[in-house]
Amino acid sequence: MKNPFESFRLPAAMLAGAGLLMALVAIPSLASSQTATAKKPTVEDARKFLADASTRLLDLSIESGRAQWVQETFITYDTETLAAKRNEALLGVSVDLAKKAARFDGVQLPADVRRQIDLLKRALTLAAPSDPAKTAELTRLAASLDGQYGAGKYCPPGGGACKTLPDLEEVMTNSHDPKQLLEAWAGWHSISPPMRKDYVRLVEIANEGARELGYKDTGALWRSKYDMPPDAFAAELDRLWGQVKPLYDSLHCYVRAKLNKQYGNDVVPLDKPIPAHLLGNMWAQTWDNVYWLVAPPNADPGFDLTQRLQEKKVDAKGMVKYGESFFKSLGFAPLPATFWERSMFTQPRDRDVVCHASAWSIDFQDDLRIKMCIKINDEDFRTIHHELGHNFYQRAYDKQPFLYQDSANDGFHEAVGDTIALSVTPDYLKQIGLIDRVPDPSKDLGLLMKKALDKVAFLPFGLIIDQWRWKVFSGEIKPDHYNQGWWDLRVKYEGIMPPVARSEKDFDPGAKYHVPGNTPYMRYFLADILQFQLHRGLCQAAGYKGPLHRCSIYDNKAAGERLAKMLEMGQSRPWPEALKEVTGQDKMDATAILDYFAPLKTWLDEQNKGQKCGW
């Protein structure tokens, strides 16, 4: 689910949902946008500017959304061209409005007006300098990096068919042969060295643009989006990581021991980080594909949800009806009739489509849709609950001004979807008649292990992508140490090491899309933290007293009311206020993850006795 294009919801789409060009906005220096002799703008000027800006952005966003929907559900040269044209038009207006927003930097404005002005400006990902030649160069570099990643293929030196990323990911997922896994890993990481030169120059130009906006560097610009000073936000991340590190360390120790038993000391030494190619994922960011190796004994929950769904002959629309019923049980209104008429639930037989699951609000009112190629299985059942979390969030804040129609911060939208998915528990499945009995608590370890291999294993990876970029933007990691800096962070936080020797001839960060694609990544770390904190707050609202991992808020109006209050706020208030509506806390708190996985942590620590943990 950790994909920057998961949900198309403008104005957030100016960051991630409308393609590469939305990340590039050229902003002139304040001196060029407002001369000393110009009349100082007034509060009324700001209000009028926002009203006009919102109208223009809304109209263009709807047009762009419709064009992108058609392009993704009916892929042809023409639909791609039309979608690109509408995105380009939206980009042009976004650039113009971001420039004009800088006029109000020195004006005393009411808090509500100031917040909307700042949100408009902070939508930038890369800020180009005022020099038109450098703006053009930055655009070219970003397009080149994105294109190099998209065209990446590994062509074996001895001949044979070249392999794309999906080809290599299939090897990483299914092979248990360390030689095959190493070839796939090294093959994909061979695509990125040519990106290094372009990336060095992109950093130089983007930093120049960020400084013109008053930020120390591009990393400081990115960290400014979280309703607190950039350095304070960085300190918050360190605090959160400190809370979850003991749980991660226990999981790491146990998994390494199992890998050592499978592959031997020569491949997996017990006193070193885990080689990155052995965890079932190209980037070792989630480890669920090694569940076969690390599953606790006798952990079978006693039911197969995929089998039960198929036995009941549930079809794709029926799968979505289950998800809608979850939200209706909380007190939310049913989805509009147009949702059922306009969504794409199954893969058409007559045309190419983008099957990646996504949630859409086309008109920022009632035209809600999901786009999926639903399979009748456990994974898609949970995914549907997640995607509808986006849709019900989108509808909840649709009364807000346009610039507030987004989640409290960029981690919240993903967190809400995942929070709902956490309520897909055996108790919930029994309540809705999909299983006959709830497994006894001894069977919980398997379910917790599967989830930990996804959620807990991801946490340090979610941190290091932007930690590396922030150090690059600040100059702490210099171009001649890009690769060394990358692996220093991976070893420090994850206990993951490269499976073969690396040097500065390599550019391993470029083998992860979000780096050449210039997509901020911290939102995914935040979502991983927030979903458990939100889940705990909603379970408390529901009056639930048992183990957190067994809680489902299904059919609880008190929990639904608390959730609705937060969703309705959108981005209108700083995110700590939104968080407090559900949790009673105005700070992110990772202890909810520790609560959720407490039985697994106890079990892991027992298994790890006598093992040398750490690296």
DSSP per position, 514-563:
TTTTT---HHHHHHHHHHHHHHHHHHHHTT--S-GGG---TT-HHHHHHH
pLDDT at 25: 46
pLDDT at 79: 87
pLDDT at 81: 84
Give the tens place of pLDDT for each residue, 587-607: 999 999 999 999 999 999 999
Predicted confidence (pLDDT) at residue 172 exceeds the cutoff of 60: yes
Label residue 506 left, alpha or beta by phi (over 0 means left) and psi (-120 to 50 means alpha). Answer: beta
Range of the domain at 383: 305-445+523-598
pLDDT at 27: 41
Average pLDDT over residues 210-217: 86
pLDDT at 168: 94
Q: With bands split at pLDDT 50, 70 and 90, how would you rate the model's confidence at 38?
A: low
How far is it, in rounded angstroms, from Cα 512 to Cα 483? Answer: 13
pLDDT at 591: 97
Q: Where are the alpha helices (DSSP H) in 264-367?
A: 291-294, 305-311, 316-329, 337-342
Give the tens place of pLDDT for each residue, 399-432: 999 999 999 999 999 899 899 999 999 999 999 9
First-to-last alpha carbon distance for the chain, in angstroms, is 30
Q: Residue 169 domain-assigned?
A: no
Question: Which own/partner pairs from 601-607 qualify as long-range (CB within 8 Å, at least 24 positions apart)?
Answer: 601/246, 601/247, 601/250, 603/296, 603/445, 604/250, 604/251, 604/253, 604/254, 605/250, 607/254, 607/257
Task: Find out whether 394 and 359 touch, Cβ atoms under 8 Å.
Answer: yes
Residue whose pair of structure tokens reads 């000391």 in the numeric block: 265
pLDDT at 3: 36
Mean per-residue pLDDT of the chain:
90
Give the tens place of pLDDT for each residue, 359-376: 999 999 999 999 999 999
Q: Cα dihedral sign for 92, 95, 98, 102?
A: negative
Q: Residue 374 domain-assigned?
A: yes
Residue whose pair of structure tokens reads 């570099």 in the numeric block: 141
Average pLDDT over residues 504-509: 97
Q: Is-catalytic flag, 577? A: no
Predicted confidence (pLDDT) at residue 31 exceeds the cutoff of 50: no
Which pair of structure tokens corresponds to residue 316? 């794709």
Q: Is-catalytic flag, 549? A: no
Question: Which helix (DSSP H) or strand (DSSP E) does residue 44 occupy?
Answer: helix 43-73
Q: With bands split at pLDDT 50, 70 and 90, how would you rate the model's confidence at 443?
A: confident
Q: Residue 148 domain-assigned?
A: no
Query: Among 86-90, 250-254, 380-384, whose mean pLDDT is lowest?
Result: 86-90
| Domain end among 67, 90, 124 | 124
Strand-strand pairing, 358-361 and 368-371? antiparallel
Predicted confidence (pLDDT) at residue 35 exceeds the cutoff of 50: no
Question: Which own/partner pairs from 431-435 qualify as long-range (CB within 8 Å, at least 24 positions apart)?
Answer: 431/552, 431/554, 431/555, 432/322, 432/325, 432/554, 434/305, 434/308, 434/309, 434/312, 435/303, 435/305, 435/308
Give the bridge partners for 8, in sequence order. Answer: 360
Radius of gyration of the chain from Cα atoms? Answer: 24
Domain count, the chain: 2
Options 212, 387, 494, 581, the catalytic residue: 387
Options 189, 252, 277, 514, the catalytic residue: 514
pLDDT at 32: 39
Among 80-84, 409-413, 469-473, the range of highest mean pLDDT: 469-473
Q: Residue 254 domain-assigned?
A: no
Predicted confidence (pLDDT) at residue 523 exceeds the cutoff of 70: yes
Beta strands in 374-443 (DSSP E): none
Predicted confidence (pLDDT) at residue 108 exceeds the cutoff of 50: yes
358 φ/ψ angles, rounded to the nearest 5 degrees: -155, 155
DSSP per position, 81-94:
HHHHHHHHHHHHHH
Task: Find out whether 234 and 470 touch, Cβ atoms under 8 Å.
Answer: yes
- Name which of 463, 440, 441, 445 is nearest 251 in CA terms: 445
Q: With bands split at pLDDT 50, 70 and 90, how would you rate the model's confidence at 26?
A: very low
325 φ/ψ angles, rounded to the nearest 5 degrees: -60, -30
Q: Is-catalytic flag, 137? A: no
Give the tens place of pLDDT for each residue, 145-164: 888 888 889 999 887 899 99
Predicted confidence (pLDDT) at residue 23 exceeds the cutoff of 60: no
More confident: 248 or 440: 248
Q: Is-catalytic flag, 161? A: no
Q: Residue 329 domain-assigned?
A: yes
Looking up residue 436, the CATH number of its domain turns out to be 1.10.1370.40
Q: Is-catalytic flag, 184? A: no
Give the tens place of pLDDT for each residue, 562-585: 999 999 999 999 999 999 999 999
pLDDT at 142: 87
| Domain end among 63, 92, 124 | 124
pLDDT at 6: 35
Average pLDDT over residues 235-263: 97
Predicted confidence (pLDDT) at residue 8 exceeds the cutoff of 90: no
Half-sphere exposure of 250 (CA within 13 A, CB side): 19
Q: Residue 228 domain-assigned?
A: no
Query: Among 119-133, 163-177, 498-512, whose mean pLDDT is lowest?
Result: 119-133
How far is it, in rounded angstroms, from Cα 415 to Cα 420? Answer: 9
pLDDT at 150: 82
CB atoms within 10 A of CB 220: 22
Predicted confidence (pLDDT) at residue 15 exceeds the cutoff of 70: no
Average pLDDT over residues 86-95: 76
Q: With bands split at pLDDT 50, 70 and 90, how would you rate the model's confidence at 124?
A: confident
What lies within 8 Å, CB to CB, of 314 at 6+ separation is: 322, 376
Which pair of structure tokens corresponds to residue 326? 């979850």
How far is it, in rounded angstroms, from Cα 443 to Cα 445? Answer: 6
Options 136, 356, 379, 504, the catalytic residue: 356
- Name which of 570, 569, 578, 540 is nearest 556 in CA terms: 540
Task: Find out whether 182 and 277 touch, Cβ atoms under 8 Å.
Answer: yes
Options 482, 524, 554, 596, the catalytic residue: 524
| Domain end among 124, 153, 186 | 124
Give the tens place of pLDDT for each residue, 125-152: 888 787 888 888 888 898 888 888 888 8
Options 189, 386, 413, 549, the catalytic residue: 386
Question: Which helix (DSSP H) or strand (DSSP E) does residue 147 occupy?
Answer: helix 132-150
How far is it, in rounded angstroms, from Cα 187 to Cα 171? Answer: 11
Q: With bands split at pLDDT 50, 70 and 90, how would you rate the model's confidence at 309?
A: very high
pLDDT at 20: 35
pLDDT at 214: 79
How far is it, in rounded angstroms, from Cα 460 to Cα 352? Answer: 36
Q: Where are the alpha helices (DSSP H) in 298-357?
A: 305-311, 316-329, 337-342
pLDDT at 517: 87
Q: Where are the alpha helices (DSSP H) in 175-315?
A: 178-189, 196-212, 218-223, 230-263, 291-294, 305-311
Average pLDDT over residues 64-90: 86
Predicted confidence (pLDDT) at residue 17 exceeds the cutoff of 70: no
